[in-house]
Amino acid sequence: MVKDPVCNMEIEKEKASGTCDYKGKTYYFCSESCKTNFEKDPLAYAAVDK
């Protein structure tokens, strides 16, 4: 299980709607909407995942 950094929903990595690589880490998303929000401002969400 991985956590969507935008909405904090736990999802199975294999069932993620999308992924994004940012600063050497892969982030997984429950929906395209969450992925889009992350891509608009990755620093706002990447900081949540420490």
Structural domain harbouring 32: 2-46
3-class DSSP assignment, residue 19 = strand
Instruction: Write down the pTM of the prediction.
Output: 0.88
- Domain tally, the chain: 1
**What pLDDT does 48 receive?**
56
Res. 49: pLDDT tops 90:
no
Answer yes or no: are the C-beta atoms of 14 and 25 closer than 8 Å.
Answer: no
Give pLDDT tens digits for 3-39.
Answer: 999 999 999 999 999 999 999 999 999 999 999 999 9
Confidence of residue 50 (pLDDT cuts 50, 70, 90): very low
